[in-house]
Each structure stands twice: as C-alpha cells, then as structure tokens.
C-alpha cells in the first residue's frame, strides 16, 4: 500500500510536469491540489480546536479547584468535554493523519529526484566526453541488473559527483563493471567543472530550473553547485556557481513560525506549544537546507497555503483568536 501511494503521487507530479514542463511549478501546483484535498480534515481540526478553546475558562476553573486531586481533576475535565460533545484529541487526529501523506510526498520526490538526476548526470558526462558513451551505457545497464548494488543509478551518480574519491563505493561498483571502466567514469566525473555543468545546463531543457534555483533536485544552497559539489564559502559562494541562495530555507523557517503563531490560541500558556513554536521553524530551516529544492518548494508552498487558509478562517471566526465565546 505504501509503495502504491508513493507511486500514485509520483504519477501525479510527473503528469503535471508533462503539461507545464517545469518541476518547480509542478510541485507548487501539486501542493496546492493536495492542500485543497486535505481541506475538510483541516476544517474539522480547527472546529474541534475552537470548541476546546471555548471551554478553556471552565477547564482552568477545574484545574484550580482540583489542583491537589489529579484524578478528580481529570474526571471533571472529561465530564465537561462529554457534556459539550468535545473530543480533546479532535484537533490533533486529523493533523496526524496528514503525516503519512507528507512522508509519502517526500518519498515520491526522492524517487523522482533519483530518476531525473540519473538522466541529468548521464547526459552531462556524455556532453563533456562523448567517447565514454558506450562505457557509460554499459555501466547503467550493469547497475540496474545487479542484485549486489542496492542504490539506484541516480543515487550512485549523486554520491560520485559530490565525492569522486569515495573509495568504498568505487570498489563496490568496480566488482560489477570492472576496474578499468570504473576508473574511466570516475576520472571523467572528477574532471567535470562547475563551468562545464553550467554550460550544459544552458543547452538542456528548463524543467529542472525554477526562479533563482538552477537545479531543483539539488539543495537551494550557495554552498552547493548544480551537480551537488560543495563550494567553499569564501572561494566560490558568491561566484555564481551556486545552485541556490538559502532563500527557501529562510522562507521555510519564517512561514513555519507564522503558521504556528496563527494556529496557537490567544493567551495559550502551554509550555509544549511554546516549545514547538520555537523548534519547528528551526527544524524547517534544517530540513529544507539538507534536502532537494523540490522538497523545499513543497514545504514552503504548503505553509503559505495554510497561512492564507488560517487567516481566512480567523476572519470568519474572530472568537478563535480573541478567546470570546460565541461565533
């Protein structure tokens, strides 16, 4: 079932891309469609959270009255919830149901990334050295048919381009295609410069470029070039060789903070809520700076959608933020 879900998401994203011709735009459109599909769950969670917030004054009275009797306090709190037909977990369950979709989305983007990078790297190697074509084609066929190699071709090339001196991986691959062929491929990869990769990008299709990002399957980072190699900050960070500028990571942190702030009930003194409000933006920055730009685009687009959705909901239900009773 999991593989079916991941495959289904892959099909939708690649299907959208076949129409719009750009993976960055495809991820944006797919995210918006997904958020609309999840809207009923979101609204159900917000309605439940609203009911709990309306009962908050009564709950505080119970907490104060039975502060020395935890069992009695829990019993009275549950009786209050039952009296008003409120499920205290009602605001959390719909959100938890969305987590598998987010993980499946990440897996789908990872699979698409691997496939797209395989095509990109193979074409790039052939572009820089056409004589290695037969060896490279044999390499791809051998890896795909080998049961000893657990990584995909795209992931292998990603590792080799970011670290051409990965002796453990090279030794493992040499056992499949032979030392001479492996040496030829590694030497070619090692000799490919960022400038050559940029020249190749100009001649290739634009589906992997999005706004300031040159390759959506590489992190939006000034410390990575378009083939995933590390750029020393002081040497090449500002030379134009970068793949991105950490803009998505910054937006991920900012939008995560705004989303948490908007969804937190007014006057909420819960320490866990405050901790999450501080941790989630930092985690968002870390996640989106480590993974592909495509995943970062998904994350930021999803946050922006939910911020707009929450703003509309708050205007239609002003008592949610003011803490007043009644709609």
Q: What is the DSSP string of 8-32?
A: HHHHHHHHHHHHH--HHHHHHHHHH
Instruction: Give mean pLDDT, residues 159-164.
Output: 89
pLDDT at position 327 over 70: no
pLDDT digits (tens, 9 = 90+) for 21-57: 999 999 999 999 999 988 888 887 777 777 777 777 7
In a domain, residue 40? The reply is: no
pLDDT digits (tens, 9 = 90+) for 191-226: 998 888 888 888 776 788 899 999 999 999 888 888
What phi-psi label fits residue 325: left (phi over 0), alpha (psi between -120 and 50 degrees) or beta?
beta
Average pLDDT, the chain: 83
In a domain, residue 77? The reply is: no
Helix (H) or strand (E) holding 290: helix 271-290
Q: Domain of 123?
A: 114-207
pLDDT at position 267 over 80: no
The percent of residues above 90 in pLDDT, for the chain, comes to 29
pLDDT in the model for residue 325 = 40
d(CA 133, CA 154): 17
In a domain, residue 28? The reply is: no
pLDDT at position 16 over 60: yes
pLDDT in the model for residue 323 = 44
pLDDT in the model for residue 175 = 87
pLDDT in the model for residue 93 = 61
How many Cβ atoms are within 10 Å of 56's Cβ, its own excluded? Answer: 15
In a domain, residue 193? The reply is: yes
Instruction: Give mean pLDDT, residues 127-136.
Output: 90
d(CA 233, CA 85): 58
pLDDT in the model for residue 241 = 80
Q: Which residues of 7-42 are buried (b: 16+ CB within 10 A; e: fewer)?
A: eebbebbbebbeeeebbbbbbbbbbeebbeebeeeb
pLDDT digits (tens, 9 = 90+) for 225-251: 888 888 876 554 456 788 988 999 999
Instruction: Give mean pLDDT, residues 297-313.
Output: 91
Identify any residues that bridge with 213 across adjacent strands, giving them in sequence order: 210
pLDDT at position 63 over 60: yes
More confident residue, 237 or 10: 10
pLDDT at position 106 over 80: yes
pLDDT digits (tens, 9 = 90+) for 311-326: 888 888 776 544 444 3
Instruction: Give mean pLDDT, residues 76-103.
Output: 72
pLDDT in the model for residue 324 = 44
Report helix, strand and coil shares of the chain as percent, to nearest 5. 75, 0, 25
pLDDT digits (tens, 9 = 90+) for 164-177: 888 888 988 888 88
Residues 173 and 146: beta-carbon distance below 8 Å: no
pLDDT at position 81 over 90: no
pLDDT in the model for residue 272 = 56
In a domain, residue 144? The reply is: yes
The number of residues making up the chain comes to 327
**Number of domains into which the chain is organized:** 1
In a domain, residue 53? The reply is: no
In a domain, residue 184? The reply is: yes
In a domain, residue 161? The reply is: yes
pTM for this prediction: 0.81
Residues 242 and 223: beta-carbon distance below 8 Å: yes
């Amino acid at each position: 079932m999991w593989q079916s879900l991941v495959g289904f998401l892959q099909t939708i994203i690649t299907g959208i891309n076949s129409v719009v011709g750009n993976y960055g735009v495809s991820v944006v459109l797919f995210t918006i469609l997904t958020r609309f599909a999840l809207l009923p769950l979101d609204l159900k969670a917000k309605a439940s959270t609203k009911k709990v917030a309306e009962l908050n004054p009564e709950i505080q009275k119970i907490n104060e009255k039975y502060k020395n009797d935890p069992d009695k306090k829990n019993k009275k709190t549950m009786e209050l919830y039952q009296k008003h037909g409120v499920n205290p977990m009602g605001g959390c369950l719909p959100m938890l149901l969305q987590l598998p979709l987010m993980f499946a989305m990440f897996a789908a983007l990872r699979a698409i990334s691997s496939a797209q990078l395989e095509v990109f790297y193979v074409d790039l190697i052939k572009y820089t050295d056409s004589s290695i074509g037969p060896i490279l084609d044999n390499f791809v066929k051998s890896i795909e048919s080998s049961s000893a190699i657990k990584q995909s071709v795209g992931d292998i090339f990603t590792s080799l381009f970011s670290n051409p001196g990965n002796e453990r991986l090279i030794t493992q691959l040499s056992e499949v295609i032979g030392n001479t062929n492996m040496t030829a491929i590694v030497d070619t990869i090692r000799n490919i410069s960022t400038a050559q990769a940029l020249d190749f990008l100009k001649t290739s299709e634009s589906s992997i470029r999005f706004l300031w990002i040159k390759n959506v399957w590489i992190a939006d980072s000034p410390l990575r070039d378009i083939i995933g190699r590390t750029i020393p900050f002081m040497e090449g960070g500002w030379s134009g060789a970068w793949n991105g500028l950490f803009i998505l990571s910054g937006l991920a942190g900012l939008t995560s903070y705004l989303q948490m702030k908007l969804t937190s009930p007014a006057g909420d003194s819960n320490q866990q809520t405050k901790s999450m409000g501080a941790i989630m933006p930092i985690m968002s920055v870390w996640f989106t700076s480590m993974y592909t730009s495509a995943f970062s685009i998904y994350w930021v687009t999803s946050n922006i959608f939910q911020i707009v959705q929450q703003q509309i909901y708050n205007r239609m239900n002003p008592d949610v933020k003011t803490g007043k009773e009644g709609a």
